Amino acid sequence: MRNMPGKPTVYDFNALMYCYFKSGNVSFHLLIELYLGMKSFGPAPNASTFNTLCNGMLTFGNLKDSLFIIEEMCGSGFVPSFKILSKLLKKSLQFGSLMDSLCTLEIMLKFGYVPTEPTFNMMICMLGKAGMIHEAYFVFSALFNKGYFFGVHTFNPILWAFCKSNQSYTALQLFYSMKKRGILYNVCSYTALVYGFCREGFQEVALQCLDEMQGNGCKPNVITYTVLIKFFCDNGRIEQAMKILTEMEREGCNPDLLTYNVIIRELCHQGRMSDILEFIQIIDQKGFSPDSYTHAALAGGLLKAGNIGFAYELLSDAVSKSCSMDVALYNIYLHCLCRQNRLKEALTMLDRMIEEGFMPTNVSYNIILDGVCRENGVDEALDLLDHFKWEANWPDVVSFNTVLLHNNSLISQLPGDMYNKRLKPDSLSYGSLITDLCSSGDPRSSAIKRMDEDFVKGSAEV
């Protein structure tokens, strides 16, 4: 083309690209080849070339090539506009491509551009949720250190990300550091710290954060109090949880259904039936409709406390009244049925669960597996191992342990299957092995050799 008289100009190429994109039938490979041909043989691409290519590729959602064109544009001495870079950043966030987002932001900062606050907040939130906490904080700091001040709504996601990843003391350091630099924290900020320290088991620090929060005139909300109540309930300290509930109501903060669900679950664990009935009455008086979590809290707690009959009656009533169900609730119901040796009903309920659009989990199948072992024997359970639609396409270590608990003599057969599926034996697996050894006294079994290798490699979970 370069040897032809009257050869096309860069404007002709740009017009051709524009019309090609408008046609809707686009080959990105051909476009990149065309661009590389212009770069090598002429006419040299201009700013309009890069903008046409980038805009067109973004329209079709081609982030990879769009970013390549932007980098080529910068390398050719042109400055991308704020508009095109903002569009690329928004698209990369829309598609969840966080690495492309970070690259785009780096280019924006290089040219002195700052994303809009909604885009920036979205990026921080997405990085935090993806566990890219340090990247989120780096992005925030990069802009903050350049003199761009963003409010608490931008910083809160970073605070939460640190607290959710067991880095609460790091979050606390950042909290005080940014407080000195002018950030005014809100209830969401303090709740993040309370949540983080409760999660890590630092009760005193969590309560100190609550005191500081109230001392600074920031009133805890229902989430703050529920976090504390859940912490105490999870640790079996129901009386402390009740004290927090009393304080919550005294401060004019009304508990919600989730708050009551947490308390009811622990009361069930402790078998405090009179208190349970009292809270169910309170829920009814306040106009709350028990949801799947309420039923799961009640039934799960009753089941754990050994009150299988009560748990079954509760769930049977919920199912008959077409109450909201989920997989966790179905699993508890299956457990109740199997513990009562009602396998046929459990299998019927499993079919109903699938018909209603709930995919059974490995937990669901392991419950059924245990029921089959109890009622119909291990041979039928072994057949089911190959017929269930397991989450990872095969059973887990709990599945094998369930069978082993009902028949230790299979210890010479099942470990081979476990190793083929790359499942590591756990303490229960080894317990079954030891029981079998005590019965057979055969130190030469392949199961022993396999498991002995685990000890040598340090991978045994004992």
Helix (H), strand (E), coil (C) string for 382-398: HHHHCCCCCCCCCCCHH
Q: Is the pLDDT of residue 457 over 50?
A: no
Of 120, 117, 88, give the one whose Cα is nearest residue 104. 88
Which residue do the tokens 């299956």 mark?
334
Give residue 305's identity as a one-letter amino acid code. Answer: A
Per-residue pLDDT, averaged over 403-414, amounts to 64
Of 398, 421, 406, 331, give the one whose Cα is nearest residue 375. 406
Say which range, 11-25, 38-52, 240-254, 418-432, has the weakest mean pLDDT: 418-432
Of 86, 102, 182, 181, give the one whose Cα is nearest residue 134. 102
Kindly list the distances between the CA atom of residue 345 and the CA atoms of 67, 131, 349, in Å, as whole numbers in the listed order.
57, 43, 6
Determine what percent of the chain is predicted with pLDDT higher than 90: 43
Phi/psi at 461 (5° precision): -100, 70
Yes or no: say if 3 and 34 are a contact pair by the CB < 8 Å rule.
no
pLDDT for 334 equals 93
Yes or no: say if 116 and 86 are a contact pair by the CB < 8 Å rule.
yes
**Burial of residue 201, with CB atoms counted within 10 A of its CB: 0-12 exposed, 13-18 middle, 19 or more buried:** exposed
**Burial of residue 226, with CB atoms counted within 10 A of its CB: 0-12 exposed, 13-18 middle, 19 or more buried:** buried
Per-residue pLDDT, averaged over 23-46, amounts to 90
Q: Helix (H, G, I), strand (E, B), or coil: what is residue 324?
A: coil
Give residue 129's identity as a one-letter amino acid code. Answer: K
Yes or no: say if 66 and 84 are a contact pair by the CB < 8 Å rule.
no
pLDDT for 406 equals 73
Confidence of residue 4 (pLDDT cuts 50, 70, 90): low
Please, where are the H alpha helices in 24-132? 28-41, 47-59, 63-75, 82-94, 98-110, 117-129
Confidence of residue 57 (pLDDT cuts 50, 70, 90): very high
Kindly report the number of other CB atoms within 10 A of residue 377's CB atom: 12
pLDDT for 11 equals 92
Yes or no: say if 213 and 190 are a contact pair by the CB < 8 Å rule.
yes
Q: Is the pLDDT of residue 174 over 70?
A: yes
Residues 6+ apart with CB under 8 A from 94: none
Residues 301 and 338: their CA atoms lie apart, in Å, by: 17
Between 382 and 68, whose confidence is greater?
68
Yes or no: say if 345 and 326 are a contact pair by the CB < 8 Å rule.
no
Confidence of residue 118 (pLDDT cuts 50, 70, 90): confident
pTM over 0.75: no
Per-residue pLDDT, averaged over 100-105, amounts to 94
Which fold does the domain 1-111 belong to in CATH?
1.25.40
Confidence of residue 419 (pLDDT cuts 50, 70, 90): low
Per-residue pLDDT, averaged over 78-94, amounts to 94
Apex CA 96: angle with CA 93 and CA 100, to 5°? 65
Q: Is the pLDDT of residue 58 over 70?
A: yes
Q: Is the pLDDT of residue 277 over 60?
A: yes
Which residue do the tokens 């950030």 mark?
183
Per-residue pLDDT, averaged over 421-450, amounts to 56
For residue 43, is the peptide bond before it cis, meaning its omega torsion is within 30 degrees of 0?
yes
Mean of all residue pLDDT scores within the chain? 84
**Burial of residue 152, with CB atoms counted within 10 A of its CB: 0-12 exposed, 13-18 middle, 19 or more buried:** middle
Both structure tokens of 278:
């009292």
Q: Is the pLDDT of residue 37 over 70?
A: yes
Per-residue pLDDT, averaged over 346-350, amounts to 90
pLDDT for 213 equals 94
Q: 86-102 b/e with 16+ CB inside 10 Å = b?
A: bbbbbbbbeeebbebbb
Q: Is the pLDDT of residue 88 over 60?
A: yes
Instruction: Give, as one character, the DSSP assignment of residue 42.
Output: S
Question: Mind listing the pLDDT tens digit for each residue in 303-337?
Answer: 887 888 888 888 888 878 777 788 888 999 999 99
Question: Mind listing the pLDDT tens digit for each residue in 198-222?
Answer: 999 999 999 999 999 999 999 999 9
Inter-axis angle of helices 427-440 and 446-457, nearest 10? 140
Inter-axis angle of helices 378-385 and 362-375, nearest 10? 160
Give residue 111's identity as a one-letter amino acid code. Answer: F
The domain limits of the chain are 1-111, 114-201
Say which range, 117-121, 256-260, 392-396, has the weakest mean pLDDT: 392-396
Between 385 and 187, whose confidence is greater?
187
pLDDT for 235 equals 94
Q: Is the pLDDT of residue 410 over 70?
A: no
Between 238 and 179, whose confidence is greater?
238
Inter-axis angle of helices 238-250 and 257-269, nearest 10? 160
Q: Is the pLDDT of residue 249 over 80?
A: yes
Question: Mind listing the pLDDT tens digit for each residue in 356-374?
Answer: 888 888 889 889 989 988 8
pLDDT for 408 equals 60
Which residue do the tokens 């089959």 mark?
372
pLDDT for 450 equals 52
Both structure tokens of 372:
């089959």
Confidence of residue 25 (pLDDT cuts 50, 70, 90): confident
Q: Helix (H, G, I), strand (E, B), or coil: what is residue 318?
A: helix
pLDDT for 460 equals 42
Kindly list the distances between the CA atom of residue 38 and the CA atoms of 43, 70, 197, 320, 339, in Å, as whole numbers in the listed order.
5, 16, 59, 71, 74
